[in-house]
Amino acid sequence: MYFHPRSTLSSCSARLDKQGRGSRYIMGSGESSTELCQRTLKEKEVKIRRALERLRDKRSVLRKQRLRREFPIVSVIGYTNCGKTTLIKALTGEATMQPCDQLFTTLDVTAHAGLLPSCMPILYMDTIGFLSQLPHSLIQSFSTTLEDVVHSDVILHVRDMSHPNTEQQKASVLSTLRGLQLRPALFNSMLEVHNKVDLVPGYRPPGHHVLAVSALLGHGLDKLKATLEESVLQATDRRVLTLCLRLGGPQLCWLYKEAKVQQVQELPKTDMAHVTVIISQATYGRFRKLFPE
């Protein structure tokens, strides 16, 4: 979908004319139909710009809070109405999320907690939908709302494969991302998700580099979660390990303080347990120095 307020002037004027409000001047206002449309559209731009500025400030505060809690961040991006919110709802099970088929719907700070197959907690960031032909007066405000993408660990680029202009939409999104000057590693590791494939008869994935899903029907989500976990672990330099440790020993106490203990499975008739832990490479190195095998 393309959005350019200036390009709607002629259609706006035509509607006024059809309504009998005068093709030249609006009775009592001293404004022509074109001038009225220009003023109305400018007022809408001002409202959108103010909302975007408020959003930037809120995101800055929340970003600091997330960094303190050390949650991996997955930014879900895509062209407007590609199904980002529906996908996050399917991945997290948040029944309260209500996707809307409108421009600028996601104008709020939305971080949604989810679990990966290893039970590692992550945060999905639902970003504002990308647009083509964005008005020049909104470009700066729009770009500042995407600062979360720069600070994320992994990016999911969601595409609506049922849209006739899906390739142009992809090009628009990638162009905007390049303008954000992302870290090369972050840009190159971006996962491309082909959504709404249930609406495309005979759809076939173009290769192993994309993930085909139907967020609405739940198709392909398990594979997406598994691939996403691999990407998050690599991006955050973490590992999922299962260690055999003594219950109540210093090793287990240390791991509870320095890493994320996911599961402790006691072994029958022993004081040992299989401990599944998510741990960074650096922390694991310290663990092995303190507790050599």
pLDDT given for residue 28 in this prediction: 52
Instruction: Check if the beta carbon of residue 34 is closer than 8 Å to that of residue 9.
Output: yes
Q: Which of 235, 253, 268 is the last residue of a domain?
A: 235
**φ, ψ dihedrals at 71, nearest 5°:** -85, 135
Separation CA 205–CA 266 (nearest Å): 43
Give the strand pairing for 111-115 and 121-126: antiparallel
What is residue 6's predicted lDDT score, i.e. its pLDDT? 44
Residue 218 lies inside a defined structural domain of this protein: yes
| Six-digit token string for 288 | 């092995």
CA distance 275 to 4: 56
The predicted structure's pLDDT at residue 207: 82
Residue 267, SS3?
coil
> Which of the pair, 54 or 109, is modelled with greater confidence?
54
Residues 168 and 261 in one domain: no
Q: Which residues share a beta bridge with 222? A: none
| Chain centre distance of CA 64 | 18
Q: Which residue has the higher pLDDT, 140 or 81?
A: 81
pLDDT in tens, 5-27: 444 445 555 555 555 544 455 54
Quote the pLDDT of residue 33.
73
Residue 82: enclosing H or E segment and its boundaries?
Answer: none
**Cross-strand bridge partners of residue 54:** none
Query: 164 and 249 share a domain?
Result: no
What DSSP state is assigned to residue 8?
Answer: G
Domain extent, residue 286, equals 238-290
pLDDT of residue 165: 94
Residues 201 and 105 in one domain: yes
Do 256 and 225 reside in the same domain of the chain?
Answer: no
Q: What's the first-to-final CA gap in the chain, in angstroms?
A: 60
224 & 258 share domain: no
Average pLDDT over all residues of the chain:
79
State whether 277 and 138 are in the same domain.
no
Closest to 252 in 3D by CA, of 224, 272, 267: 272
pLDDT at 242 over 60: yes
DSSP state of 48: H
Domain boundary among 192, 218, 235: 235
Do the domain assignments include residue 122?
A: yes
Number of domains the chain contains? 2
Buried b (16+ CB within 10 A) or exposed e, 60-88: eebbeebeeeebbbbbbbbbbbbbbbbbb
Counting residues of the chain whose pLDDT is more than 90, the rounded percentage is 47
12 vs 276, higher pLDDT: 276
Which pLDDT score, from 0 to 100, does residue 132 have?
Answer: 52
What predicted TM-score, i.e. pTM, was given to this entire model?
0.70
Greater confidence (101 vs 114) lies with: 114
Q: Write the CB contacts of 2 (distance below 8 Å, at least 6 apart in sequence).
A: 131, 132, 133
DSSP letter at 162 equals T
